[in-house]
Amino acid sequence: MTQVLVVAASVLFGLLASPGRVLAEGPAAMVTPSDQRPSTAVSVPLPENKVCLDCHSEPNQVMTKGEIQVSLYVSPEDYNSSSHRVISCVACHEEVLEQTEEQHKSLAGTILTGHALRLQMSERCGKCHAGAVLETYRQSFHWAELELGGRKTAACADCHPAHAVLPADSPRSSVAPANLPATCGQQGCHPGATPAFTAGLVHSSPTRQGPWSPVRIIWKAFIVLILFDTLKDGPIILFELVRRLRRRSSIPSLTAMEVGSHVSD
Amino acid sequence: MSQTKPTMERWNVHQRLQHLLLFLSVTGLVLTGFPIKYHALPWAHTVTGWVGGFRSLFGIHLTCAVLLFVASGYHLIYLLVEGLRRRVSWTMVPGWKDVRDAWHHALHLVGLRPEPPCFDRYTYLEKFEYLAVVWGMVFMGGSGLMLWFPVQAANLLPSWGLEAVRVIHSNEAFIAMLALAFGHFFAVHFHPSVFPNNEVWLTGRISLARLAEEHPAELDRLIARGKVSTADVAEALRHEEPHRPLMLWLELALYGGVFVWLLATFVPMLFA
């Protein structure tokens, strides 16, 4: 009976269903390398980045904003051996294109720092890293906290340092399996992180997994429970309300019957 | 003419305190958990702003979680102590009568049986709700603790364990919210015979008229034991419940809308 109701309801309402989709605890799959790495033909360091690195390779270079000091140092060795060596600095630091040299050097107070910077840069990563890798991050607790203003959480670059980013299969990568416990355990995020902890997939979500994966089956089981509750409470409430409306409207005819019976007496 | 409506105690002070703790902690957990579940929606940011940012939002969530564990502990200790004093009540335990009552109630609601089921102290729906709280406590409490201490939990789980735990926490949260906002709130607030509020959770007392309507088997037993006089029941039944057709129509529209929305949202997800 329930199955018949479910099927009937799905036919009736399936077409109207899109507004609720955002509710899905959802979807995204195990990320494949092609999702993660924007393809590029070039593989040598981009010459134009030398202009930036000429100044920013100075280890003691800092910017003072309010009461905090922010390091402006980028290691040229790390950057020029990272996966990002082929892209321009201003591809990510796009506001620099709109600054005059004077403004850039005076730092005009426009450069974001702290939480605002991490949020902004994490959104910019999506310019190239679209698809499953972005979608799964957007469903993670890490992003939920960052988006809602939390600070003690992982922005993209906290796990994938943008100036030294390397693919997971490179032994020096922060996300190489052997380095994950240290990466997850940094800055007191997940102290004592073990290989068992880091074996779990962060960029993953139930709808992207195979139909018989445990996580997907558990997700579906809970959708069934939600529908069970809906189909249990909904009809009880609606029939109860209808019954009360009908009972009241039938009172006059009952009275008439009573009167009739008295008359015939 | 009559002084006060005849009432009798339904919940003692411990039961009311347990309900109050459960109510406060779960309300806090829902209000601070749903902005995290729906972080992409604008209202999530509004609610986070109300409590002063994510740090306080999450701090309240964890505090309420501890309060919920306290409520569960209180209930278990209460059951244990009552058990040792051989006073524990078994009226919440489901039996075959509940299966028969559920079927009878269904027939009654669609108009195939004129008389309602003769419910005892707790109806099959109230027993289901109680067991749902126990189930919810195990799943929400368990998954919540694992998410609170993910490194320790991961050592006990398979590699997909934490991901599964998060799916459980997020979806069971929706089920708990649904059971409360849809089923429970109708039963204790929007049901025409209790609107606007069933006061048992505050005063611990139920009117004899409501007892006669909702728990006739219990009332019969109380009369048989001489705890309630038939005269009081007759007096109580003279107060007729007001008829509010406008409210009934409004509720019908509201609940009908929510029902359709729930099906339209979750049925497609089943086949996604």
Distance of CA B45 to the CA centre of its chain: 28
* A189 contacts chain B (CB < 8 A): no
Above pLDDT 70, what percent of chain B?
98
Q: Which residues of A touch B55 (CB under 8 A)?
A: 150-151
Q: Are A155 and A122 in contact (CB under 8 A)?
A: yes
pTM for this structure? 0.85
Reported as a single tens digit per residue, the pLDDT across A201-247 is 889 888 888 889 999 999 999 999 999 999 999 999 999 999 988 87
- Rounded mean pLDDT for each run of 10 residues along chain A, 265 residues in total: 46 36 36 52 75 90 82 92 92 88 74 88 92 92 96 94 93 94 94 93 85 93 97 96 78 38 36
Reported as a single tens digit per residue, the pLDDT across B176-192 is 999 999 999 999 999 98
CA distances B155 to A141, A193, B170, Å, are: 20, 10, 21
Reported as a single tens digit per residue, the pLDDT across B134-184 is 999 999 999 999 999 999 999 999 999 999 999 999 999 999 999 999 999
CB contact under 8 A, A13 and B264: yes
Q: Which residues of A touch B243 (CB under 8 A)?
A: 248
The pLDDT value given to residue A6: 46
Over chain B, what is the mean pLDDT? 93
pLDDT higher than threshold 50 for residue B18: yes
* A210 contacts chain B (CB < 8 A): no
Reported as a single tens digit per residue, the pLDDT across B74-115 is 999 999 999 999 888 888 999 999 999 999 999 999 999 999
pLDDT higher than threshold 50 for residue B12: yes
Of the candidates A10, A191, A229, the beta carbon closest to that of B175 is on A229
Q: Which residues of A touch B155 (CB under 8 A)?
A: 194, 196-197
- Give the A:B interface size as CB pairs under 8 Å: 207
Report ipTM (2 d.p.).
0.93
Over chain A, what is the mean pLDDT? 79
Distance from CA of A168 to the nearest CA of B (A): 18
